[in-house]
Amino acid sequence: MKSARLSSAALLVAIFATTGSAHRLDEYLQATRIAVEKDRIDLEIDLTPGAAVADRIVGAIDRDRNGEISLTEKEMYAATLLASLTLKVDSETRRLKISDLVFPSIDEMHRGEGVLRLRTTASIGRAKAGAHRLTFANAHWPDIGAYLVNALVPTDERVHITGQSRDHLQREFTLEYNVSTGRASVPLASVLPVLLSLTLAATLYAVARRLP
Amino acid sequence: MKRLPLVSISILLTVLVAAIAARPVATQQSTGGAATASKIVAAANAFLGMLDTAERAKAAYPFDSPQKTNWSNLPSGAYQRNSLRLGDLTPPKQAAVMAVVAAALSAEGYRKVTDIMNADEVLKESRGGQTGARAGAPARGGRGAAFGKEEYYIAILGTPSNTSPWMIQFGGHHLAINVTIAGNDNVLTPSLPAAQPARYTLNGQTIRPLGKENDKAFALMATLNAEQRKQAILNYRVSDLVLGPLQDGKTIQPEGILATALNANQQSMLIDLAKEWVGILNDEGAAARLAEIRSNLPRTYFAWSGATENGGIAYFRIQGPTVVIEYAPQQNDLDHIHTIYRDPTNDYGARLVSK
């Protein structure tokens, strides 16, 4: 059985290698985007097994080999994935909770087109004003992994990214950021018309009251 | 009593002036050509007018249809586009499709599109004319990926108009062209020009669909001094697009060298490099987008990963307030290139439509 699977994988490699393909072949692409908010860290992780390594990944997911991915199998694989991720903020390990999980079909994975989408979040409480350091490490399938990791521009204007660094393969990522105090500022352009309208209304009201 | 109108008028004028002054600068810059817009509308109406009911059902969508984001770099068969397939049309209707594309794009942009489609035809032929990705797979409609010039699709979202926004979506394997037209202005973002093979021979000519992108980027890198390279070159491998398909609405923290750290000649080369993507669009639309990119140069970054000598494999990214361009060879293969062009403020014409 095992040798048959290996032969199948080898055949796929041969087909794709000789004819060209639209798809990733012998790598397991793992793209992570990190969003830093004032009270939490959100991680979007997209995992795409190449066609030539899909058998290995499918085998790790579809444990009963029935050709379908059950909820239990999804949760077990997600737990394995989370166990291979490390997120720290200011040297303190943060627990990642799954907020969304979408699996492709086994067939899509065999074609090298299936994307497993995992969304996680880690609560960090109300971040204190000042400098902070986030570190993220991904040790999931390191022998075939191809990694991307990027920080998203913070939506909260009080969070400012000041630096980022990675190892050559993007398995390890460090993000430096500052949190400032005060309320999030609102762009002047969006409030100016409202303020002026209110001023206009108040002025008209005041003038009208003076009229006989 | 006489003072009331005077007070009201003066306050209203103040409000008006303040509101105009408070508008974002970028929204004041977009101008386009009425003639070009009319030409695109005419081509789209001519195409739609040739379709029967079944074809029209596949080609025409409401402007805000989910079809808007239904594009991919993947070949048909591997990705369900839903829209109208070139191979299912008669030659005159196929010509009408390409006339729509030609009307919306520049001459150079149209050439790039056809070069990418011809590359896919070469890919198909290299497979012995077979379209199935796996032995025994059906050529279309099933599990098999399908390649070749017939495997490109068109959708028109909204009603072609000189006033209301509408959109042309054309694409297939290694190609996604999304042109949103609003009045006389239009945008190309998001779009994905890619190529495999990235070099082939057709009618005795060597074709490199994305050759200028590659060569101009390496030429720019060659002008960077040691200090500039230190800032531009990322010390890590980038193996794919970061903001490819399905990554709408995301903005990553920029990296690399800020354009203000480049000299005037290098800045011109950077703009010229970006023009390879922006200039796919018709000349009027492209000019407006390039003006925005130029005005935002002080906040634009250029990042590089990989070899610095032409002929090597390198990823690069141009990122500014109104532009994200990525160029990513796939799995260390110079013959398989993916790229993406986005405008964080104007994907699917978001800024034009909100006017």
Mean pLDDT of B157-179: 97
Of B78, B253, B336, the CB nearest to A113: B78
Is the CB of A42 inside 8 Å of chain B's CB atoms? no
Cβ-based neighbour number of residue B19 at 10 Å: 14
| Closest residue in chain A to residue B194, using alpha carbons only | A22
Cα–Cα dist A154/A37, whole Å:
6
Cross-chain Cβ contact A147/B336 below 8 Å: no
Model pLDDT, residue B78: 83
Model pLDDT, residue A33: 98
Report for A107-111, B37-41, B351-355: range of highest mean pLDDT:
B37-41
Residues of A in contact with B255 (CB under 8 A): 164
Mean pLDDT of A28-45: 96
Of A107, A170, A203, the CB nearest to B7: A203
Residues of A in contact with B340 (CB under 8 A): none
Cross-chain Cβ contact B1/A21 below 8 Å: no
Q: How confident is the model at residue A181 (pLDDT cuts 50, 70, 90)?
A: confident
- Give the gap in angstroms from C-alpha B321 to the nearest C-alpha of chain A: 12
By DSSP bridging, strand A40-49 and strand A116-123 are antiparallel
Strand order in the sheet with A92-93: A92-93, A85-89, A130-138, A172-179, A159-166
Residue A168 CA, distance from chain mean position: 19
Of A19, A161, A169, the CB nearest to B126: A19
Asked whether the predicted pLDDT for residue B345 surpasses 60, the reply is: yes
Is the CB of A207 inside 8 Å of chain B's CB atoms? yes
DSSP per-residue string spanning chain A? -HHHHHHHHHHHHHHHHHH--SS--S-EEEEEEEEE-SSEEEEEEEEEE-TTTHHHHHHHH-TT-SSS--HHHHHHHHHHHHHTEEEEETTEE---EEEEEE---HHHHHTT---EEEEEEEE--SPPSEEEEEEEEE-SSTTTEEEEEEEBPPSSTTEEEEEEEE-TTSSEEEEEEEE--SPPP--HHHHHHHHHHHHHHHHHHHHHHH--
Best residue in B240, B247, B334, B338 for a mutation probing chain A (most A CBs within 10 Å): B240
Of A150, A167, A192, the CB nearest to B253: A150
Best residue in A23, A176, A178 for a mutation probing chain B (most B CBs within 10 Å): A23
| Complex prediction ipTM | 0.84
Of B3, B23, B251, the CB nearest to A189: B23
User: Which helix (DSSP H) or strand (DSSP E) does residue B30 occupy?
Assistant: none
Q: Between residues B21 and B355, which one has the greater pLDDT? A: B355
Cross-chain Cβ contact A200/B12 below 8 Å: yes
Of B11, B143, B239, the CB nearest to A200: B11
Q: pLDDT by residue (tens digit) across B40-71? A: 999 999 999 999 999 999 999 999 999 999 99
Is the CB of A1 inside 8 Å of chain B's CB atoms? no
Cross-chain Cβ contact B250/A24 below 8 Å: no
Best residue in A8, A13, A18, A21 for a mutation probing chain B (most B CBs within 10 Å): A21
Cα–Cα dist B300/B279, whole Å:
18
- Give the gap in angstroms from C-alpha A145 to the nearest C-alpha of chain B: 11
Prior bond of B197 cis (ω within 30°): yes
Asked whether the predicted pLDDT for residue B180 surpasses 50, the reply is: yes
Q: How confident is the model at residue B33 (pLDDT cuts 50, 70, 90)?
A: confident
Structure tokens at A26: 């012998």
Strand order in the sheet with B314-320: B257-258, B301-306, B314-320, B323-330, B333-342
Cross-chain Cβ contact A113/B79 below 8 Å: yes
Range from B125-134, B180-189, B219-228 carrying the lowest mean pLDDT = B125-134
Length of chain B: 355
Do B60 and B156 meet the contact criterion of CB atoms below 8 Å apart?
A: yes
What CA–CA distances, in Å, run from B221 to B169, B260, B263, B297? 34, 15, 13, 17
pTM of the model: 0.85
Is the CB of A206 inside 8 Å of chain B's CB atoms? no
**Percent above pLDDT 70 for chain B:** 86
Of A22, A200, A211, the CB nearest to B74: A22
Model pLDDT, residue B321: 98
- Give the gap in angstroms from C-alpha B1 to the nearest C-alpha of chain A: 7
Contacts for A170 with CB less than 8 Å, ≥ 6 apart: A147, A148, A149, B236, B237, B238
Q: How confident is the model at residue B277 (pLDDT cuts 50, 70, 90)?
A: very high
- Give the gap in angstroms from C-alpha B48 to the nearest C-alpha of chain A: 31
Do B156 and B166 meet the contact criterion of CB atoms below 8 Å apart?
A: yes
Residues of B in contact with A204 (CB under 8 A): 7-8, 11
Model pLDDT, residue B237: 96
Model pLDDT, residue B224: 98
Interface of A with B in 117-156 (CB under 8 A): 146-148, 150-153
Do B101 and B282 meet the contact criterion of CB atoms below 8 Å apart?
A: no
User: Which helix (DSSP H) or strand (DSSP E) does residue B96 occupy?
Assistant: helix B91-104
Cα–Cα dist B287/B305, whole Å:
29
Looking at residue B266, its amino acid is: Q
Of B15, B135, B196, the CB nearest to A20: B196
Q: How confident is the model at residue A12 (pLDDT cuts 50, 70, 90)?
A: very low
Cross-strand partners of A161: A177
Do A179 and A133 meet the contact criterion of CB atoms below 8 Å apart?
A: no
Model pLDDT, residue B355: 75
User: Which helix (DSSP H) or strand (DSSP E) does residue B165 occupy?
Assistant: none
Q: How many helices (H) and strands (E) does chain B have?
A: 10, 14
